Chain A
């Protein structure tokens, strides 16, 4: 009973905060709404006895979302939400796609038959996972490790200020600042102002 109520509460929190990510005006808030969504999923995993995975998820996302928040502050305009903002394109298409994928997966969950086999009590899932990771699935573990290493090297290579042929920003071009109104909001835009209304990135 208590378990069910907790589960529904955290599920609701996960979905609500996931939705708020794309409704926040402040970049920092968006990042931390996402963190909240991850934390709620982490707690659901703990409730499901996948304690280690749930806690590791929270640990990992705590760091990642903070970096994301700083990234947003450094790269984006309006990090603090002083201006109301919506930065979307093809909004209606996206909504349709989101709803369709939700319905498809939910239908799969509701109508497909899954075997019912709960984890037996008395075994330590963390221990089993550890044995699996370093025993039977050593290959998976190693692959994950090498993938992460490759990702680190690639990330440094891509983001480095100096490329193989000199400075990375050599010959870089400022793109056209003017962007036409997004398709989904043409009507709204036209009603207010016929001129191109959005030119993100322009500062004064």
Chain B
């Protein structure tokens, strides 16, 4: 019985991953075309990610001069695995949880903390200067987003008095965390962009590095890297939906449907930032993160603590 539920949960995580990645790629394309002033043609764009994948899969995986071949091959797989673990920590409906741990928030945090390792290895391994700069940059970036990310997640867990995610969702029965902790979601999404090195925080892969950490990657590795990056975004959106938007809570429709809708509501703006916000210089991002975002996230947890104390009265 229990095993069956886990199997169902694992399968649904797989399905959500594939659908989420595809949706993310599609939305990115549509928003990009709209911003560029081209005809949007959503149906036509539906096949574009597949076509890109097919064209990339037919290319050889090239190598560079004296790369660290093993870690280079490992990096995309590691990123994909970490993103999948992060997504597995999120309950998609009551009882539908693949990684059934009592500390779901900590599991998510641990998986996301290791994303730095995957991106650094991806930049470091090819033995090439621009990817290496990308890898270095991500370490500076990683230390700057990780702290706000962890702190706002802890603040969201406070009202539930639990580190498991299901109680956090049910604790929002009457009031969603987005209202209760207004600072939480914006800070979380900003940290999430850093985590997925996407859009304004695509520092390791910026155009100024001609692609940065994935500059030298080709063939199947490139597909895996891109999809893993999108999966990180999906995991961030799903966790945000569960922790700030009340997860599966909602009238009329089944919980899973609400969860999917809320995930999409967060995923689309995350994807779209790429076309509206320019890339932020590394040093300024680090300064802003330590001088503004981290204090704000501490304020967030402080407010949550006071609310919890008042509620306990």
Q: How far is the CB of B191 from chain A (nearest CB, A)?
A: 14
- Contact code string A5-38 (vs B, CB < 8 Å = 1, else 0): 0000000000000000000001011001001000
Count contacts on A: residues with CB < 8 A to the other chain: 25
- A66 contacts B107, C-beta separation under 8 Å: no
Checking B68, B106, B113 against A29 with a beta-carbon cut-off of 8 angstroms, the contacting residue is B68
- B113 contacts A62, C-beta separation under 8 Å: yes
- A55 contacts B106, C-beta separation under 8 Å: yes
- A52 contacts B139, C-beta separation under 8 Å: no
Query: B256 in the interface, Cβ–Cβ < 8 Å?
Result: no
9 tightest CB-CB pairs across the interface, nearest first? A62-B113, A59-B110, A55-B106, A58-B110, A62-B114, A55-B110, A59-B113, A51-B103, A66-B116
- A66 contacts B103, C-beta separation under 8 Å: no
Q: How far is the CA of A29 from the CA of B120 in the complex (A)?
A: 12
Query: B56 in the interface, Cβ–Cβ < 8 Å?
Result: no
Q: How far is the CB of A48 from chain B (nearest CB, A)?
A: 13
Query: B66 in the interface, Cβ–Cβ < 8 Å?
Result: yes
Query: A63 in the interface, Cβ–Cβ < 8 Å?
Result: yes
Q: A65 — which chain B residues lie within 8 A by C-beta?
A: 117
| Chain A 99-150 interface residues, beta-carbon cutoff 8 Å to B | 124, 126
Query: A198 in the interface, Cβ–Cβ < 8 Å?
Result: no
- Contact code string A49-89 (vs B, CB < 8 Å = 1, else 0): 00110011011001101110110000000001110000000
Given contacts A26-B68, A62-B110, A63-B143, contact A55 B117 (CB under 8 A): no
Q: How far is the CA of A70 from the CA of B109 in the complex (A)?
A: 22
Q: B139 — which chain A residues lie within 8 A by C-beta?
A: 66-67, 70
Query: B8 in the interface, Cβ–Cβ < 8 Å?
Result: no
Chain B interface residues (CB < 8 Å from chain A): 66, 68, 71, 101-103, 106-107, 109-110, 113-114, 116-117, 120-121, 124, 127, 136, 139, 142-143, 146, 150, 163
Checking B66, B121, B143, B163 against A32 with a beta-carbon cut-off of 8 angstroms, the contacting residue is B121
Q: How far is the CA of A82 from the CA of B65 in the complex (A)?
A: 11
Given contacts A51-B101, A81-B68, contact A63 B120 (CB under 8 A): no
- A29 contacts B107, C-beta separation under 8 Å: no
Q: B150 — which chain A residues lie within 8 A by C-beta?
A: 59
Q: A80 — which chain B residues lie within 8 A by C-beta?
A: 66, 68, 124, 127
- B117 contacts A62, C-beta separation under 8 Å: yes
Chain A interface residues (CB < 8 Å from chain B): 26, 28-29, 32, 35, 42, 46, 51-52, 55-56, 58-59, 62-63, 65-67, 69-70, 80-82, 124, 126
**Which label, helix, strand, loop or mixed, suits the secondary structure of the B interface?**
helix
- A59 contacts B68, C-beta separation under 8 Å: no
Chain A, residue nearest B67 (CB): A80
- A52 contacts B103, C-beta separation under 8 Å: yes
A-B pairs with beta carbons under 8 Å apart, 15 shown: A26-B68, A28-B121, A52-B103, A52-B106, A52-B163, A58-B110, A58-B113, A59-B106, A62-B114, A63-B142, A63-B146, A66-B117, A66-B142, A67-B143, A126-B102
Checking B68, B107, B113, B163 against A28 with a beta-carbon cut-off of 8 angstroms, the contacting residue is B68
Question: What 17 additional pairs, Cβ within 8 angstroms, besides A52-B106, A66-B116?
Answer: A26-B68, A29-B71, A32-B71, A51-B101, A55-B106, A55-B107, A55-B110, A56-B106, A58-B114, A59-B110, A62-B110, A62-B117, A70-B139, A80-B66, A80-B124, A81-B68, A126-B102
Q: B117 — which chain A residues lie within 8 A by C-beta?
A: 32, 35, 62, 65-66
Q: A82 — which chain B residues lie within 8 A by C-beta?
A: 66
Count chain A CB atoms within 10 A of each CB in B71, B124, B136, B143 and give the residue with the most. Answer: B124
Q: How far is the CA of A69 from the CA of B71 in the complex (A)?
A: 14
Count chain B CB atoms within 10 A of each CB in A55, A58, A70, A126 and give the residue with the most. Answer: A55
Q: B146 — which chain A residues lie within 8 A by C-beta?
A: 63
Q: How far is the CB of B261 from chain A (nearest CB, A)?
A: 30
Q: How far is the CB of B125 from chain A (nearest CB, A)?
A: 9
- B101 contacts A46, C-beta separation under 8 Å: yes
Q: How far is the CB of A25 from chain B (nearest CB, A)?
A: 10
Q: A67 — which chain B residues lie within 8 A by C-beta?
A: 139, 143
Chain B, residue nearest A28 (CB): B124
Q: A52 — which chain B residues lie within 8 A by C-beta?
A: 103, 106, 163
